[in-house]
């Protein structure tokens, strides 16, 4: 499925960010992931649970059902499943057939996120979850604002395409965050089997308006920013500003650092989930400022949602996959897509 080849949707034996921890409570919640319905809830002692969200009897959504203690009881005929997915009660009969069960997805609560493993539970190695400290989420040098959820009105890969190629900042986000001149700086790319990074440095540019205001600084800056995707779900990026090493009163002095976190998870074939957070090293105790900056980022993300909606609608109306022109700035995108395809092909080969 474009932009991946036909027959390729998404890898399953992977950790995906499923929800903000505080979205999941005692009241069950339904969320589709990888085109499967998932029922989320917490047990009485607060542990988050993710079960296959379709009762195997008549396909009623468990995520729209109710809890009885730590178990979830299908609202239709009362068939009840434990947090392990075992059926513990069929009200209309004594015996429970072995086939009557739902998948229990490995679910890990880390930092403020719930990570889900949609594939073979035997392969769900928690050490594969990106190191939250390494990417700055738990670094006290940063104040992190979080909690934003966007429903993506298009296939998940359109969002990866979006984040792989940040040259869109100056256009789609022209009136908000903007960007420098990408044609004059080189992109530093690197990747492994399940990560890919892109970094750029803009030396001695005018301080962007947003930051000029925040820092009370109108001079020249060196700006470094980049993004690293931990396949298949989390893009962790940074945007660091320094006083210009070549043209300022205090060459190389840190003005401020921002980290951004974009988590993308396939919902259905044509929709996705988007969880956003950011961290900052400035005005760390100014909560109102932090929330306002989060609101600004959310407005930017809504511009991405607009682009995604338009492109998904374009593809749907065309009814065929149109040819695509690849640019130099797509090098990360092309490599990133190949990593996705490679993960999927490996699973298909098993």
- Binding residues vs its own copies (CB under 8 A): 32, 35, 37, 54, 56-61, 64, 73-79, 90-95, 97, 99-100, 161, 165, 167-168, 170-172, 181-183, 268-269, 307, 310-311, 314-315, 317-319, 322-330
Q: Residue 21 Cβ, how far from its own copies at the closest point, in Å?
A: 26
Q: Quick one: 316 exposed, middle or buried, by C-beta within 10 A (0-12, 13-18, 19+)? A: exposed
Q: Residue 208 Cβ, how far from its own copies at the closest point, in Å?
A: 16
Distance from CA of residue 232 to its chain's centroid? 9
Q: Residue 327 Cβ, how far from its own copies at the closest point, in Å?
A: 6
Q: Residue 221: beta bridge partners?
A: 205, 243
Q: How many CB atoms lie within 10 A of CB 240?
A: 18
Scan for tokens 């005929």, then name that residue. 77
Q: Quick one: 9 exposed, middle or buried, by C-beta within 10 A (0-12, 13-18, 19+)? A: middle
| Closer residue to its own copies in complex, CB, 36/70 | 36
Q: Residue 350 Cβ, how far from its own copies at the closest point, in Å?
A: 20
Q: Residue 254 Cβ, how far from its own copies at the closest point, in Å?
A: 28
**Cα separation of 34 and 151, whole Å?**
14
| Closer residue to its own copies in complex, CB, 170/219 | 170
Q: How many CB atoms lie within 10 A of CB 225?
A: 21
Q: What is each CA distance from 263 to 17, 102, 266, 317, in whole angstroms? A: 6, 26, 10, 28
| Closer residue to its own copies in complex, CB, 21/329 | 329
What angle do helix axes 156-164 and 331-349 make, rounded to 10 degrees? 140
| Closer residue to its own copies in complex, CB, 129/196 | 196
- Is-contact 343 194, C-beta < 8 A? yes
| Closer residue to its own copies in complex, CB, 88/172 | 172
| Closer residue to its own copies in complex, CB, 65/143 | 65
Q: Residue 233 Cβ, how far from its own copies at the closest point, in Å?
A: 21
The dihedral over CA atoms of 45, 46, 52, 58, expressed in degrees to the nearest 10, equals: 60
Q: Residue 148 Cβ, how far from its own copies at the closest point, in Å?
A: 22
Q: Residue 342 Cβ, how far from its own copies at the closest point, in Å?
A: 22
| Closer residue to its own copies in complex, CB, 61/279 | 61
The first and second tokens of residue 244, run together, are 């210009």
| Closer residue to its own copies in complex, CB, 127/317 | 317
CA nearest 19: which of 112, 140, 105? 112
What is the biggest distance separating any 2 CA atoms in the chain, rounded to whole angstroms?
81
């Amino acid at each position: 499925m474009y932009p991946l080849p036909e027959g390729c949707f998404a890898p399953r034996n992977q950790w995906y960010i499923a929800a903000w921890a505080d979205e999941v409570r005692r009241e069950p919640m339904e969320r589709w992931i990888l085109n499967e319905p998932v029922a989320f809830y917490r047990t009485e002692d607060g542990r988050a649970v993710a079960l296959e969200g379709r009762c195997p009897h008549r396909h009623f959504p468990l995520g729209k059902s109710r809890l009885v203690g730590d178990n979830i009881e299908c609202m239709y005929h009362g068939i009840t499943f434990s947090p392990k997915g075992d059926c513990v009660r069929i009200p209309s009969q004594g015996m429970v057939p072995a086939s009557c069960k739902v998948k229990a997805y490995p679910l890990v609560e880390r930092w403020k996120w719930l990570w889900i493993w949609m594939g073979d539970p035997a392969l769900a190695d928690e050490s594969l979850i990106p190191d939250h400290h390494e990417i700055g989420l738990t670094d006290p040098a940063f104040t992190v604002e979080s909690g934003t959820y966007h429903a993506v009105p298009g296939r998940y890969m359109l969002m990866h395409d979006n984040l792989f190629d940040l040259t869109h900042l100056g256009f789609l986000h022209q009136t908000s965050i903007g960007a420098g001149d990408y044609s004059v700086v080189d992109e530093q790319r690197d990747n492994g089997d399940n990560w890919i990074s892109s970094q750029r440095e803009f030396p001695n540019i005018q301080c962007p308006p947003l930051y000029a205001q925040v820092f009370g600084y109108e001079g020249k800056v060196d700006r470094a920013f980049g993004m690293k995707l931990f396949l298949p779900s989390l893009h962790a990026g940074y945007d660091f500003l320094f006083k210009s090493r070549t043209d300022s009163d205090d060459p190389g002095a840190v003005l401020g650092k921002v980290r951004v976190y974009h988590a993308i998870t396939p919902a259905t074939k044509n929709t996705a989930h988007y969880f956003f957070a950011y961290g900052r090293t400035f005005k760390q105790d100014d909560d109102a400022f932090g929330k306002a900056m989060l609101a600004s980022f959310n407005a930017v993300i809504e511009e991405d949602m607009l682009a995604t909606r338009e492109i998904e609608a374009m593809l749907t109306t065309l009814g065929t996959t149109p040819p695509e022109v690849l640019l130099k700035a797509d090098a990360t995108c092309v490599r990133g897509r190949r990593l996705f395809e490679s993960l999927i092909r490996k699973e298909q080969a098993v």
